Amino acid sequence: MAEESVKLLGYWASPFALRVKWALKLKGVHYEYVEENLPNKSPLLLRYNPVYKKIPVLVHNGKPLAESLLIIEYIDEAWKQNPLLPDDPYERANARFWAKFFDEKCVPEVMGAFASKGEEQEKAAKARENLKMLERALEGKPFFGGDKIGFLDIAVGWIGIWGRIVEEIAGVSLIDAETMPLLTAWLNNFLEVPVIKACIPSWHELLEHNKGFHKILTGSST
């Protein structure tokens, strides 16, 4: 493993790059991090992800792989220590199902609540409905992965940070402690795990960055 080359192309404020950082850290994989300037994408990014031209991109021994969930699965298969996906085929498929549900049903509504002007409450209500459904996968467990952090925890965990950002900037609540007690308790626990917490960017810097992003998306001048 010492001879291997592992490189991650990312962006400091991307929740999807954060997923990959978490996976690499939990697996104990040493890697080189390359920060991308998204408005001026590097030749390296365009070379390694010519299809979508997006981060994150993992480059393992010169071979690139894009899309955060696929990258996490690859990491779990390439490095066997500290498994992220369950051994049981049914549980493994279930984790993939909920991760796909989160990306397809929760993420667009969360982004919509953040980016919409005049439809924030409607988008947030739909996001809350879907997050409440996701909470079912937590029943009887401290983590989605069971007794330890797993694939689905990594896929969903960033919502605890960006949900607060949406609430702070757009003025809408996404995660309600009263109606989502399991999800709230899980987030409070997950985000305090040292290896997870160490990868999270500064709250102040994230907030200021997203305030500017929100103004661009909504056309706001204030």
Contact 166, 113 (CB under 8 A): yes
Q: Six-digit token pair at 160?
A: 């605890």
pLDDT tens for 73-129 read 999 999 999 999 999 999 999 999 999 999 999 999 999 989 877 777 888 899 999
CATH number of the structural domain spanning residue 52: 3.40.30.10
One domain for residues 96 and 66: no
> Domain count of the chain?
2
Is residue 92 packed enough to be buried (19+ CB in 10 Å), middle (13-18) or exposed (0-12)?
Answer: middle
pLDDT tens for 102-112 read 999 999 999 99
Q: Which of 78, 101, 127 is the last residue of a domain?
A: 78
Is residue 221 packed enough to be buried (19+ CB in 10 Å), middle (13-18) or exposed (0-12)?
Answer: exposed
One domain for residues 74 and 109: no
Question: Whole-prediction pTM value?
Answer: 0.94
